[in-house]
Copies of this chain bind each other. A is one copy, B any other.
Amino acid sequence: MRAGILVTGTEVLSGFISDRNGPWISARLGELGVEVIQIAIVGDRPEDLEAALGAMRDQGADLIVTSGGLGPTADDLTAEVVGRFTGRDLVLDTEMEEKIQRILENFARRLKFDAEALRESNRKQAMIPEGATAIDPAGTAPGLVVPAGDAVVVVLPGPPRELHEMWPRALAAAPARALLDRAEPFEAFSIRMFGVPESELAQALREIEDETDLGPLEITTCLRGGELITDVRHRAGEEAAVEALRKGLEARLGQWTFSESGETIGEVVAKRLEGRTVAVAESCTGGLLAGRLTDMPGASAYFRGGVVAYSNEAKAELLGVDPGMIESHGAVSPEVAEAMADGALERLGADVACAVTGIAGPDGGSEEKPVGYVCFCVKSAAGDVLPRDIVLPGDRADVRGRSVAVAMHLLRYLLEGREPPR
Protein backbone atom coordinates (compact mmCIF):
# COMPACT_ATOMS: atom_id res chain seq x y z
CA MET A 1 0.00 0.00 0.00
CA ARG A 2 1.71 3.17 -1.24
CA ALA A 3 0.62 6.76 -1.00
CA GLY A 4 1.61 10.16 -2.34
CA ILE A 5 0.89 13.43 -0.59
CA LEU A 6 0.30 16.51 -2.68
CA VAL A 7 0.32 19.89 -0.99
CA THR A 8 -0.86 22.80 -3.12
CA GLY A 9 -0.46 26.52 -2.75
CA THR A 10 1.85 29.13 -4.19
CA GLU A 11 2.35 30.53 -0.67
CA VAL A 12 3.82 27.19 0.40
CA LEU A 13 5.79 26.57 -2.81
CA SER A 14 7.32 30.03 -2.74
CA GLY A 15 8.63 29.41 0.75
CA PHE A 16 6.41 32.09 2.14
CA ILE A 17 4.93 29.76 4.73
CA SER A 18 6.06 26.34 5.90
CA ASP A 19 3.91 23.35 5.07
CA ARG A 20 2.58 21.63 8.16
CA ASN A 21 0.12 19.31 6.41
CA GLY A 22 2.52 17.04 4.52
CA PRO A 23 4.32 15.84 7.66
CA TRP A 24 1.06 15.47 9.56
CA ILE A 25 -0.64 13.39 6.86
CA SER A 26 2.52 11.33 6.41
CA ALA A 27 2.71 10.50 10.11
CA ARG A 28 -0.98 9.44 10.13
CA LEU A 29 -0.55 7.27 7.03
CA GLY A 30 2.56 5.70 8.57
CA GLU A 31 0.57 4.69 11.63
CA LEU A 32 -1.98 3.05 9.35
CA GLY A 33 0.77 1.03 7.64
CA VAL A 34 0.75 2.97 4.38
CA GLU A 35 4.14 3.64 2.84
CA VAL A 36 4.49 7.25 1.74
CA ILE A 37 6.61 7.53 -1.40
CA GLN A 38 6.69 11.28 -1.77
CA ILE A 39 5.42 14.57 -0.43
CA ALA A 40 5.20 17.06 -3.29
CA ILE A 41 4.48 20.74 -2.98
CA VAL A 42 3.20 22.51 -6.09
CA GLY A 43 1.81 25.97 -6.78
CA ASP A 44 -1.70 26.95 -7.76
CA ARG A 45 -1.12 26.34 -11.49
CA PRO A 46 -3.54 23.61 -12.58
CA GLU A 47 -1.05 22.06 -15.03
CA ASP A 48 1.56 21.57 -12.27
CA LEU A 49 -1.03 20.04 -9.97
CA GLU A 50 -2.23 17.68 -12.69
CA ALA A 51 1.37 16.70 -13.60
CA ALA A 52 2.11 15.87 -9.97
CA LEU A 53 -1.05 13.75 -9.66
CA GLY A 54 -0.01 11.89 -12.81
CA ALA A 55 3.55 11.32 -11.59
CA MET A 56 2.26 9.85 -8.32
CA ARG A 57 -0.12 7.52 -10.16
CA ASP A 58 2.76 6.44 -12.43
CA GLN A 59 4.87 5.67 -9.36
CA GLY A 60 2.17 3.28 -8.20
CA ALA A 61 0.38 5.30 -5.52
CA ASP A 62 -2.79 3.54 -4.35
CA LEU A 63 -3.79 6.60 -2.41
CA ILE A 64 -3.17 10.27 -3.09
CA VAL A 65 -4.00 12.80 -0.40
CA THR A 66 -4.10 16.47 -1.36
CA SER A 67 -4.29 19.51 0.88
CA GLY A 68 -5.17 23.05 -0.07
CA GLY A 69 -6.81 24.81 -2.98
CA LEU A 70 -10.40 24.44 -1.73
CA GLY A 71 -10.92 28.03 -0.69
CA PRO A 72 -13.22 30.63 -2.21
CA THR A 73 -10.58 32.55 -4.20
CA ALA A 74 -9.98 32.16 -7.92
CA ASP A 75 -6.63 30.38 -7.43
CA ASP A 76 -8.31 27.56 -5.49
CA LEU A 77 -8.61 24.88 -8.16
CA THR A 78 -8.01 21.48 -6.59
CA ALA A 79 -11.57 20.13 -6.91
CA GLU A 80 -11.66 21.05 -10.59
CA VAL A 81 -8.24 19.52 -11.34
CA VAL A 82 -8.96 16.31 -9.42
CA GLY A 83 -12.27 16.08 -11.29
CA ARG A 84 -10.43 16.29 -14.60
CA PHE A 85 -7.74 13.85 -13.41
CA THR A 86 -10.35 11.25 -12.47
CA GLY A 87 -12.52 11.96 -15.52
CA ARG A 88 -15.44 13.29 -13.51
CA ASP A 89 -17.48 16.44 -14.23
CA LEU A 90 -18.11 18.95 -11.46
CA VAL A 91 -21.71 19.03 -10.28
CA LEU A 92 -23.42 21.22 -7.69
CA ASP A 93 -24.04 19.37 -4.43
CA THR A 94 -27.18 21.22 -3.30
CA GLU A 95 -27.21 19.62 0.14
CA MET A 96 -23.61 20.75 0.66
CA GLU A 97 -24.46 24.20 -0.69
CA GLU A 98 -27.09 24.56 2.03
CA LYS A 99 -24.70 23.35 4.72
CA ILE A 100 -22.11 25.90 3.64
CA GLN A 101 -24.75 28.61 3.54
CA ARG A 102 -25.77 27.87 7.14
CA ILE A 103 -22.12 27.94 8.26
CA LEU A 104 -21.59 31.26 6.50
CA GLU A 105 -24.65 32.85 8.03
CA ASN A 106 -23.37 32.05 11.52
CA PHE A 107 -19.94 33.24 10.57
CA ALA A 108 -21.22 36.51 9.10
CA ARG A 109 -23.45 37.18 12.09
CA ARG A 110 -20.60 36.62 14.51
CA LEU A 111 -18.12 38.79 12.60
CA LYS A 112 -20.69 41.32 11.38
CA PHE A 113 -19.75 40.78 7.73
CA ASP A 114 -22.10 40.74 4.78
CA ALA A 115 -23.46 37.20 4.36
CA GLU A 116 -24.26 37.72 0.67
CA ALA A 117 -20.65 38.67 -0.14
CA LEU A 118 -19.43 35.59 1.68
CA ARG A 119 -22.02 33.43 -0.08
CA GLU A 120 -20.95 34.63 -3.49
CA SER A 121 -17.31 33.89 -2.67
CA ASN A 122 -18.04 30.47 -1.31
CA ARG A 123 -20.63 29.02 -3.70
CA LYS A 124 -17.97 27.35 -5.81
CA GLN A 125 -16.98 25.28 -2.78
CA ALA A 126 -20.15 23.19 -3.23
CA MET A 127 -19.11 22.06 -6.74
CA ILE A 128 -17.84 18.48 -6.48
CA PRO A 129 -16.71 15.79 -8.98
CA GLU A 130 -19.61 13.54 -9.93
CA GLY A 131 -19.62 10.30 -7.90
CA ALA A 132 -17.25 11.66 -5.26
CA THR A 133 -18.13 11.57 -1.57
CA ALA A 134 -18.25 15.07 -0.08
CA ILE A 135 -16.82 15.38 3.44
CA ASP A 136 -18.50 17.82 5.81
CA PRO A 137 -16.42 20.96 6.26
CA ALA A 138 -14.70 22.01 9.46
CA GLY A 139 -14.47 25.56 8.11
CA THR A 140 -16.41 26.34 4.96
CA ALA A 141 -14.63 24.03 2.49
CA PRO A 142 -15.94 20.48 2.10
CA GLY A 143 -13.43 17.70 1.46
CA LEU A 144 -13.71 15.02 -1.22
CA VAL A 145 -13.04 11.29 -1.51
CA VAL A 146 -12.77 10.56 -5.21
CA PRO A 147 -12.39 7.04 -6.69
CA ALA A 148 -9.77 7.00 -9.47
CA GLY A 149 -9.77 3.52 -10.98
CA ASP A 150 -8.16 1.22 -8.42
CA ALA A 151 -6.81 4.20 -6.53
CA VAL A 152 -8.44 6.85 -4.38
CA VAL A 153 -7.81 10.58 -4.17
CA VAL A 154 -8.62 12.23 -0.84
CA VAL A 155 -8.97 16.01 -1.12
CA LEU A 156 -8.73 18.10 2.05
CA PRO A 157 -8.48 21.84 2.76
CA GLY A 158 -5.22 23.61 3.61
CA PRO A 159 -5.83 25.10 7.08
CA PRO A 160 -4.32 22.50 9.44
CA ARG A 161 -7.12 22.74 11.98
CA GLU A 162 -9.73 21.99 9.32
CA LEU A 163 -7.67 19.21 7.83
CA HIS A 164 -7.16 17.53 11.22
CA GLU A 165 -10.85 17.67 12.07
CA MET A 166 -11.91 16.28 8.68
CA TRP A 167 -9.28 13.52 8.49
CA PRO A 168 -11.28 10.81 10.35
CA ARG A 169 -14.40 11.66 8.31
CA ALA A 170 -12.43 11.23 5.08
CA LEU A 171 -11.00 7.87 6.21
CA ALA A 172 -14.50 6.69 7.14
CA ALA A 173 -15.81 7.28 3.61
CA ALA A 174 -16.37 3.94 1.88
CA PRO A 175 -13.69 4.15 -0.86
CA ALA A 176 -10.97 5.20 1.61
CA ARG A 177 -12.02 2.59 4.16
CA ALA A 178 -11.95 -0.20 1.60
CA LEU A 179 -8.40 0.75 0.65
CA LEU A 180 -7.05 1.14 4.17
CA ASP A 181 -8.56 -2.16 5.32
CA ARG A 182 -5.87 -3.78 3.16
CA ALA A 183 -2.97 -2.01 4.92
CA GLU A 184 -1.04 -3.64 7.75
CA PRO A 185 -0.21 -1.08 10.46
CA PHE A 186 3.44 -0.51 11.38
CA GLU A 187 4.75 -0.63 14.89
CA ALA A 188 7.03 2.26 15.72
CA PHE A 189 9.15 3.63 18.51
CA SER A 190 11.71 6.32 19.00
CA ILE A 191 14.85 6.61 21.12
CA ARG A 192 16.09 10.08 22.04
CA MET A 193 19.56 11.16 23.16
CA PHE A 194 21.13 14.46 24.04
CA GLY A 195 24.76 15.55 23.89
CA VAL A 196 26.19 12.88 21.59
CA PRO A 197 27.27 13.44 17.95
CA GLU A 198 25.52 11.65 15.09
CA SER A 199 28.73 9.87 14.05
CA GLU A 200 28.87 8.06 17.42
CA LEU A 201 25.35 6.83 16.85
CA ALA A 202 26.29 5.72 13.32
CA GLN A 203 29.18 3.70 14.71
CA ALA A 204 27.01 2.13 17.41
CA LEU A 205 24.47 1.09 14.76
CA ARG A 206 27.22 -0.48 12.63
CA GLU A 207 28.48 -2.44 15.61
CA ILE A 208 25.00 -3.71 16.48
CA GLU A 209 24.39 -4.61 12.83
CA ASP A 210 27.59 -6.70 12.87
CA GLU A 211 26.05 -8.89 15.57
CA THR A 212 22.39 -8.93 14.58
CA ASP A 213 20.58 -8.40 11.29
CA LEU A 214 18.68 -5.13 11.69
CA GLY A 215 17.34 -5.39 8.12
CA PRO A 216 13.70 -5.86 9.16
CA LEU A 217 13.82 -2.51 10.99
CA GLU A 218 13.45 0.80 9.17
CA ILE A 219 15.83 2.99 11.19
CA THR A 220 16.01 6.75 10.72
CA THR A 221 18.30 9.01 12.67
CA CYS A 222 18.18 12.76 12.85
CA LEU A 223 19.57 15.62 14.84
CA ARG A 224 16.95 18.13 15.90
CA GLY A 225 17.51 21.07 18.20
CA GLY A 226 20.51 19.37 19.80
CA GLU A 227 18.66 16.10 20.32
CA LEU A 228 19.68 12.99 18.40
CA ILE A 229 16.64 10.95 17.57
CA THR A 230 16.47 7.35 16.32
CA ASP A 231 13.11 6.56 14.80
CA VAL A 232 12.30 2.90 14.20
CA ARG A 233 9.42 1.40 12.24
CA HIS A 234 8.76 -2.30 11.71
CA ARG A 235 6.13 -4.92 10.96
CA ALA A 236 4.79 -7.18 13.72
CA GLY A 237 6.95 -10.18 14.67
CA GLU A 238 10.36 -8.49 14.59
CA GLU A 239 10.83 -8.52 18.36
CA ALA A 240 14.32 -10.10 18.21
CA ALA A 241 15.77 -7.33 16.05
CA VAL A 242 14.01 -4.67 18.15
CA GLU A 243 15.44 -6.16 21.32
CA ALA A 244 18.97 -6.30 19.85
CA LEU A 245 18.76 -2.68 18.78
CA ARG A 246 17.41 -1.47 22.11
CA LYS A 247 19.96 -3.39 24.16
CA GLY A 248 22.84 -2.46 21.85
CA LEU A 249 22.07 1.26 22.03
CA GLU A 250 21.48 1.11 25.78
CA ALA A 251 24.89 -0.54 26.33
CA ARG A 252 26.77 1.92 24.12
CA LEU A 253 24.92 5.22 24.49
CA GLY A 254 22.57 4.69 27.42
CA GLN A 255 24.05 7.48 29.49
CA TRP A 256 22.95 10.03 26.86
CA THR A 257 19.52 8.49 26.35
CA PHE A 258 16.61 10.39 27.89
CA SER A 259 13.66 8.63 26.28
CA GLU A 260 13.13 5.15 24.89
CA SER A 261 9.48 5.55 24.02
CA GLY A 262 9.35 8.78 22.07
CA GLU A 263 8.62 11.08 24.99
CA THR A 264 9.74 14.66 24.48
CA ILE A 265 12.13 16.31 26.91
CA GLY A 266 9.13 18.32 28.17
CA GLU A 267 7.26 15.13 29.00
CA VAL A 268 10.32 13.59 30.65
CA VAL A 269 10.88 16.68 32.81
CA ALA A 270 7.20 16.75 33.79
CA LYS A 271 7.46 13.12 34.88
CA ARG A 272 10.79 13.53 36.74
CA LEU A 273 9.36 16.43 38.75
CA GLU A 274 7.23 13.86 40.63
CA GLY A 275 5.04 16.47 42.24
CA ARG A 276 7.79 19.07 42.67
CA THR A 277 7.25 22.53 41.19
CA VAL A 278 9.51 24.46 38.86
CA ALA A 279 10.09 28.14 38.13
CA VAL A 280 12.31 29.87 35.58
CA ALA A 281 14.29 33.07 35.27
CA GLU A 282 15.24 33.93 31.70
CA SER A 283 17.16 36.58 29.91
CA CYS A 284 18.30 35.66 26.37
CA THR A 285 15.63 32.99 25.87
CA GLY A 286 13.06 35.74 26.48
CA GLY A 287 10.18 33.55 27.69
CA LEU A 288 10.74 30.56 25.40
CA LEU A 289 11.85 28.30 28.26
CA ALA A 290 8.65 29.08 30.16
CA GLY A 291 6.80 28.58 26.87
CA ARG A 292 8.31 25.11 26.51
CA LEU A 293 7.49 24.13 30.07
CA THR A 294 3.87 25.21 29.59
CA ASP A 295 3.19 23.71 26.19
CA MET A 296 1.78 20.54 27.69
CA PRO A 297 -1.74 20.21 29.07
CA GLY A 298 -1.73 20.20 32.86
CA ALA A 299 1.42 22.31 33.15
CA SER A 300 -0.17 24.33 35.94
CA ALA A 301 0.31 21.31 38.24
CA TYR A 302 4.09 21.82 38.23
CA PHE A 303 4.91 25.18 36.66
CA ARG A 304 4.81 28.02 39.20
CA GLY A 305 5.79 30.81 36.87
CA GLY A 306 8.71 32.63 35.39
CA VAL A 307 10.42 35.94 35.11
CA VAL A 308 11.73 37.26 31.83
CA ALA A 309 14.37 39.58 33.24
CA TYR A 310 15.61 41.22 30.09
CA SER A 311 16.77 44.49 31.61
CA ASN A 312 19.14 44.74 34.56
CA GLU A 313 16.42 46.61 36.46
CA ALA A 314 14.09 43.64 36.00
CA LYS A 315 16.77 41.27 37.28
CA ALA A 316 17.06 43.39 40.41
CA GLU A 317 13.39 44.25 40.94
CA LEU A 318 11.79 40.90 40.14
CA LEU A 319 14.57 38.48 41.10
CA GLY A 320 16.50 40.40 43.72
CA VAL A 321 19.79 40.13 41.82
CA ASP A 322 22.35 42.49 43.39
CA PRO A 323 23.07 45.31 40.89
CA GLY A 324 26.64 45.32 42.19
CA MET A 325 27.06 41.71 41.10
CA ILE A 326 25.80 42.57 37.60
CA GLU A 327 28.23 45.50 37.60
CA SER A 328 31.25 43.41 38.58
CA HIS A 329 30.61 40.11 36.74
CA GLY A 330 28.37 41.27 33.89
CA ALA A 331 24.70 40.38 33.30
CA VAL A 332 25.89 37.28 31.42
CA SER A 333 27.93 35.41 34.00
CA PRO A 334 27.68 32.21 36.05
CA GLU A 335 27.29 34.37 39.18
CA VAL A 336 24.26 36.23 37.84
CA ALA A 337 22.75 33.00 36.50
CA GLU A 338 22.89 31.52 40.01
CA ALA A 339 21.48 34.69 41.57
CA MET A 340 18.62 34.57 39.06
CA ALA A 341 17.92 30.95 40.02
CA ASP A 342 17.94 31.91 43.71
CA GLY A 343 15.51 34.73 42.97
CA ALA A 344 13.14 32.46 41.07
CA LEU A 345 13.22 29.87 43.87
CA GLU A 346 12.46 32.46 46.48
CA ARG A 347 9.99 34.75 44.70
CA LEU A 348 8.02 31.96 43.08
CA GLY A 349 8.22 29.47 45.94
CA ALA A 350 9.27 26.64 43.62
CA ASP A 351 11.14 23.43 44.47
CA VAL A 352 13.48 23.77 41.49
CA ALA A 353 14.47 26.77 39.40
CA CYS A 354 16.25 27.10 36.09
CA ALA A 355 17.98 30.32 35.06
CA VAL A 356 19.41 31.30 31.67
CA THR A 357 21.37 34.42 30.76
CA GLY A 358 23.32 34.75 27.55
CA ILE A 359 24.23 36.67 24.43
CA ALA A 360 21.81 35.69 21.65
CA GLY A 361 23.29 38.18 19.21
CA PRO A 362 23.79 39.42 16.61
CA ASP A 363 25.19 42.27 18.77
CA GLY A 364 26.51 42.35 22.31
CA GLY A 365 29.33 39.85 21.95
CA SER A 366 32.94 40.46 23.02
CA GLU A 367 36.17 38.51 22.72
CA GLU A 368 35.77 37.09 26.19
CA LYS A 369 32.01 36.53 25.90
CA PRO A 370 31.16 35.98 22.23
CA VAL A 371 27.68 35.78 20.70
CA GLY A 372 26.33 32.37 21.72
CA TYR A 373 27.88 32.46 25.20
CA VAL A 374 25.15 31.35 27.59
CA CYS A 375 25.21 30.73 31.35
CA PHE A 376 22.78 28.29 32.94
CA CYS A 377 22.01 27.49 36.54
CA VAL A 378 19.61 24.85 37.74
CA LYS A 379 19.12 24.87 41.48
CA SER A 380 16.80 23.20 43.95
CA ALA A 381 15.36 24.67 47.14
CA ALA A 382 17.18 21.83 48.88
CA GLY A 383 20.49 23.31 47.70
CA ASP A 384 21.46 21.05 44.78
CA VAL A 385 23.01 23.15 42.06
CA LEU A 386 24.03 22.41 38.45
CA PRO A 387 25.76 25.31 36.70
CA ARG A 388 27.00 25.35 33.10
CA ASP A 389 28.37 27.98 30.72
CA ILE A 390 28.87 27.19 27.05
CA VAL A 391 29.18 28.82 23.65
CA LEU A 392 26.32 27.74 21.38
CA PRO A 393 26.61 27.97 17.57
CA GLY A 394 24.23 29.60 15.11
CA ASP A 395 22.23 32.77 14.70
CA ARG A 396 19.99 34.50 17.21
CA ALA A 397 17.10 32.05 16.75
CA ASP A 398 19.46 29.05 16.96
CA VAL A 399 21.11 30.31 20.15
CA ARG A 400 17.72 30.93 21.76
CA GLY A 401 16.34 27.55 20.67
CA ARG A 402 19.43 25.61 21.73
CA SER A 403 19.54 27.41 25.05
CA VAL A 404 16.03 26.19 25.76
CA ALA A 405 17.11 22.62 24.92
CA VAL A 406 20.21 22.79 27.12
CA ALA A 407 18.19 24.27 30.00
CA MET A 408 15.57 21.51 29.76
CA HIS A 409 18.22 18.80 29.79
CA LEU A 410 20.14 20.36 32.71
CA LEU A 411 16.84 20.50 34.57
CA ARG A 412 16.35 16.80 33.83
CA TYR A 413 19.84 15.91 35.10
CA LEU A 414 19.28 17.78 38.33
CA LEU A 415 15.92 16.06 38.81
CA GLU A 416 17.61 12.70 38.16
CA GLY A 417 20.23 13.60 40.76
CA ARG A 418 23.20 13.17 38.43
CA GLU A 419 25.75 15.13 36.41
CA PRO A 420 25.57 15.26 32.62
CA PRO A 421 28.06 12.69 31.20
CA ARG A 422 31.54 14.15 30.36
Contacts and interface: CB of A to CB of B under 8 A. Distances in A.
A357 interface: no
A298 B363 contact: yes
Given A38-B40, A294-B310, A117 B203 contact: yes
Interface residues of A, number: 113
A15 B25 contact: yes
A27 interface: yes
A308 B305 contact: yes
Task: Say whether chain A's binding surface is mostly helix, strand, loop, or mixed.
Answer: mixed
Contacts of A38: 13, 40-42, 48, 52
Contacts of A288: 287-288, 291
Interface in A264-318: 280, 282, 285-291, 293-295, 297-300, 303-311, 313-314, 317-318
A398 interface: yes
Contacts of A400: 295
Interface string A180-212: 000000000010000001111111011000000
A27 B39 contact: no
Contact of A16 (B59, B111, B222): B222
A294 B28 CA distance: 35
- Copies per assembly: 2
A220 B75 contact: yes
A214 B227 CA distance: 48
A16 B231 contact: yes
A199 B123 CA distance: 11
A161 interface: yes
Interface string A1-40: 0000000011111111111101111111010000011111
Contacts of A11: 220-222, 229, 231
Contact of A348 (B55, B299, B318): B318
Residue with the greatest number of chain B CB neighbours at <10 A, chosen from A37, A73, A313:
A73
A287 to B, nearest CB: 3
A215 to B, nearest CB: 12
Contact of A23 (B18, B220, B221, B362): B18
Interface stretch (A83-91, A237-245, A375-383, A389-397): A389-397
Contact of A304 (B314, B362, B398): B314
B305 A314 contact: yes
A236 to B, nearest CB: 18
Nearest to A349: B313
A71 interface: yes
Nearest to A222: B11
Contact of A13 (B36, B52, B309): B36
Contacts of A201: 73
A388 to B, nearest CB: 15
A64 to B, nearest CB: 14
A120 interface: yes
A203 B39 contact: no
B39 A41 contact: yes
A150 to B, nearest CB: 21
B117 A73 contact: no
A203 B17 contact: no
A159 interface: yes
Contacts of A30: 14-15
A113 B203 CA distance: 12
Interface of A: 9-20, 22-28, 30, 36-44, 48, 51-52, 55, 59, 71-75, 107, 111-113, 117-118, 120-122, 159, 161, 190, 197-203, 205-206, 218-224, 229, 231, 233, 280, 282, 285-291, 293-295, 297-300, 303-311, 313-314, 317-318, 347-349, 361-363, 393-398, 400, 422
Given A15-B30, A16-B220, A313-B349, 14 more contacts: A11-B229, A14-B27, A15-B26, A18-B19, A37-B42, A39-B41, A44-B220, A73-B202, A74-B206, A121-B202, A286-B299, A287-B287, A287-B291, A290-B310
Across the A-B interface, give the 4 residue pairs with the lowest CB-CB distance, nearest first: A287-B290, A286-B294, A287-B287, A305-B314
